[in-house]
Structure 1
Amino acid sequence: MTSESPRSTAVRDAALSAVPAALADLGALVRIPSVAFPGFDRAEVERSATAVAALARGLGIFDRVDVATAIVPETGEEGMPAVLATRAARNGRPTILLYAHHDVQPVGDESLWESSPFEPTVRGGRLYGRGAADDKAGVMAHIGALRALAEVAGPDFDLGVNLFIEGEEEAGSASFAAFLADNAEALRADVIVVADSGNWDATTPALTVSLRGNARFTMTVRTLEHASHSGMFGGAVPDAMLATVTLLSTLWDETGAVAVAGLTERDAETPAYSEETLRSEAGLPAGVAPIGGGSILSRIWNKPSITVTGIDAPSVRNASNTLSPEVSVVISARVAPGQSAADAYRAIEEHLRAHAPFGAELTFRDVETGNPFLVDTRGEAVAHARAALAEGYGVEPVDIGVGGSIPFIADLVREFPEAEILVTGVEDPHSRAHSPNESLHLDTFRRALVSEALLLDRLDATTR
């Protein structure tokens, strides 16, 4: 499964030796609550960016390391700080752009965490903490791999390296496109590695070759000019909750599959994947049935889905005998590869307007879209990546789709159409990214770091 040269063996050994320091640095990053969402402390995101920039400077390989921002075109506000480090290629070698993000999801209900979310804690071979997997581990896989390459090849190796560590991916990458436009020459590369995905399991590496897109928006349903007594008018007056529940129910059929005309599916084969595996990885209790039809992975990778992720309505604690005049919901749709996110959003909005019950008034706002992505797997960099993963993990990699979305990849494709884009990651199916008790499987991280170091070594020996 390996065909290692003496130098690649040395790079592998250096990468293995780099793991303890990388994990220590990861722990320090996890302690910084770098949530980029509105209402959270921007200073923590700035502190995180400063820490990442210090790690990049400490490598001693970059021509320049900056903490930079871009303006969000829609609002005129300054985006969150990113780290941009650049190193020019030499002697005809290619340039690689290494992407990850240092911002993290909010904690949510802290009572659901078994240990403090911003205190890295090791249990059962896993490192627990918010951002431990998504995506500060991606940051440290890049840093650790570069440390290994520099140790073996010296700081004057020929490969061009651009490092881009974003600061607002979890919050929607509002300034991403502007940042790319502002820094296009500094970011330009022949190969782009996006370390923000996952693996088949904790021991089997994967290349992500398809991603669903997303369409997220807020809908407000209004049926009354003001709240009214439910005893006095209930039974004759439609309240907003009734209208909202009735309307939302039209989005799915009796199996739970999406029932919106105009949303498309991708026809592609998927590997074997059992219901038992789904239950284990998703936390699906024995008495709850999966939804949809077709193979399980086709439902996750190749078909659309619609989820209600938030609702503004009277809470249980504040419930009263009142007809609610309006209810707002956040709807998150995943778009199958092959369909534009804008077309998918239009189809969903048209469906909702057409099915609004009782003449309910609908308004839509905060619309966010990101297109799906399909990787061209014929390139030389893909072959190098597969070989490096096989060597680093000791197991041949598999090509996977991902049901989640990385919308900014569409921006990368638009800005750098000639670049080969490789979507990799350090997560395994039990990482629980975005959820309480997020964690990183330590052996997976070790293998991922080694694999990336081997990929860098291969590209350093490749003529552009």
Structure 2
Amino acid sequence: MAAISIEQVRARVDQDWQRIVELLSQKVALRSISAQGITREHMRRSAEFVAQELRKVGVDARVVQSSNPDGTPGAYEVVGSKIVDPVAPTVLLYAHHDVQPVPDASQWESDPFVATQKGDRLYGRGSADDGGGIAIHSGALQALGQDLPVNIKVFIEGEEEMGSPSFIPFIEAHRSEFESDVIIVADSGNWAADVPSLTTSLRGNLDLDVTVKVLEHPVHSGQFGGPILDANTLAAMLIASMYDEQGDLAVPGVKAEQPVGGLQRDLDEAQVRADAGIVDSYRLAGTGSLAERMWTKPSASIIGFDAHPVDGSFNVIADATRFRISLRTAPTQEPGEAQQALTDFLLAHAPFGAQVSVEPLDTGMGWAMDADSTAVIDAQEAMEAAFGLPPVNKGEGGSIPFIPELKRIFPAAQVLVTGPEDPQTNAHSPNESISLSGLRKNIVTEALLLSKLGQK
């Protein structure tokens, strides 16, 4: 089968454009918030809608309810396939249909569940994360039509925003429906709306609960203060001991890495400061490029701290406190190894001999792209053709633990992480949006990529 031309793809995407925008608009309106119950009717409706849209582009999609590891009912998943030739390569297309909650709709400039176009952007919860991923897959399959040269399998997940508890059991129970040569995970984004990127790496993650105890019970700060430091202060000392004077995490055994595939362009500090809302007086911590600090070096955050509120506080020395550390690990470090290294460090650095205990919690492996794989090379060529610019390598500081799990289950598969987001998307935040011009180019990219993969 001859490869389809880029002119044909663009013309077909243009012809299909109103359907694609309408798909996104209807998806936003479904309010598929998994945090409100993955087994509830609104999540089933969302899955049925996605299955229906995929059937329109030739996929024999259906909704299957997963089971949690404990056997209880799980999320509504969408699976299906389109087989064009038993000997052709097989590509698994992944996205998720659940979305983040909207805690305060007053922070939005438009109704978060009514898709609203302003200029080049379509606003609404899930417009990008990950309605955009669904739209990319749908648009690319429609653009290729009868010229599709690869077999397609799809998995549109219903609980990604909840940590995917039934993801691995579901795949292991339906292994034949996911077996593939290439896996395209459309849940990330580009350097900018008009600058393409493959996601080259994801950090791993782990959590620890740390308890610091100094007294058997609280005592009066006026009577005993001085030689006895309160547990909150001791915890702060312990936390501070993890860092060197430059603000780099300095825990032996917790590794740092360089950007995967090489650093082609560093992050812009002014943009990072603006995006994060950093106060003017704050100097960014750490050394090295901003990219490696945010993508491939470890970072620790205190995401919870048990202390008496300021309101109603009184003059006692806190006897004990507990805090939770969330550690993002370098892409290729085994998280259990980092968890043990951090545990050993905290126990060895108990301030003034205070009692320190550590409870290890969940871990998730990071991921690094194989920059030399044929799928990566094909994807880079497709991106440059669709965007008119070569792609810029882009890591992510966050974690998607199921990607390394997919590699574990299907070690021969090549994994590509793409997606509809850009720095203005505001995924998980008020005024989430997707660039429509960027979406169009992403659809053209995936169609060209599928065509290239079929020529191998």
When normalised by structure 2's length, the TM-score is 0.89
- How many Å separate the matches in 2 of 1:240 and 1:54? 57
Specify every segment of 5 or more residues in structure 2 that has no aligned partner in the other structure, as ranges.
none
Structure-2 residue corresponding to 1:423? 417
- Alpha-carbon distance between aligned partners in 2 of 1:286 and 1:252, rounded to the nearest angstrom: 22
Equivalents in 1 of 2:358, 2:170: separation in Å? 31
Shift of residue 223, structure 1, vs aligned partner: 4.8
Tell me whether 297-306 or 259-268 shows the greater mean CA deviation.
259-268
Cα gap change, 1:299/1:363 in structure 2, threshold over 3 Å: closer, same or farther? closer
Aligned to 2:51: 53
Q: Give the partner amino acid of 2:21.
A: L
Q: How does 1:21-36 map to 2 (within 5 A)?
A: 21-36=19-34
Residue of 258, 264, 267 corresponding to 1:271: 264
The alpha-carbon deviation at position 435 of structure 1 amounts to 2.8
Pairing 1:71–2:68 present: yes
CA RMSD of aligned residues (A): 2.7
Cross-structure match for 1:82: 77
Structure 1 residue 359 and structure 2 residue 350: aligned? no
Residue identity matched to 1:68? Q
CA deviations over 1:81-140 (Å, ceiling 9, x no partner)? 221112334152111100111222333455543334333333343223332222221122
Kept in 2, the 8 Å contact 1:64–1:85? The answer is yes
Letter in 1 for 2:99: V
Name the % identity: 40
In structure 1, what is the Cα distance between the partners aligned to 2:401 and 2:241? 27
1:401 aligned to which of 389, 395, 402: 395
Equivalent residue for 1:241, pick from 220, 229, 232:
232
* Aligned pairs (5 A) from 1:195-210: 195-210=186-201
Give the structure 2 partner of residue 290 of structure 1: 284
Shift of 1:203: 0.8
Amino acid aligned to 1:252: Y
CA distance in 1, matches of 2:216, 2:115: 50
**Residue 383 of structure 2: aligned partner:** 389
| Higher mean C-alpha displacement, 40-49 vs 163-172 | 40-49
* 8 Å contact kept, 2:218–2:317: yes
Q: How far apart in 2 are the matches of 1:64 and 1:289?
A: 51
In the TM superposition, what is the alpha-carbon distance from 1:324 to its structure 2 partner?
4.7
Alpha-carbon distance in 1 for matches of 2:37, 2:319: 30
| Residue number in structure 2 paired with 1:171 | 162
Say if 2:149 and 2:455, in contact at 8 Å, map to a contact too.
no
- Aligned residue identity for 2:128: A
Alignment correspondent of 1:126: 121
Residue 442 of structure 1 pairs with residue 436 of structure 2: yes
Q: CA deviation at 1:238?
A: 4.6
Matched letter for residue 71 of structure 1:
N
TM-score of the pair, normalised by structure 1: 0.87
| AA in 2 matched with 1:340 | E
1:258 to 234, 241, 249: 249
- Structure 1, gaps ≥5 residues long: none
Figure out how many residues of one structure are paired with residues of the other and give that number: 450
Q: Does 1:370 align with 2:361?
A: no
- 1:76 deviation in Å? 4.1
Counterparts in 2 of 1:294-333, with a 5 A limit? 294-317=288-311, 319=313, 323-324=317-318, 326-333=320-327
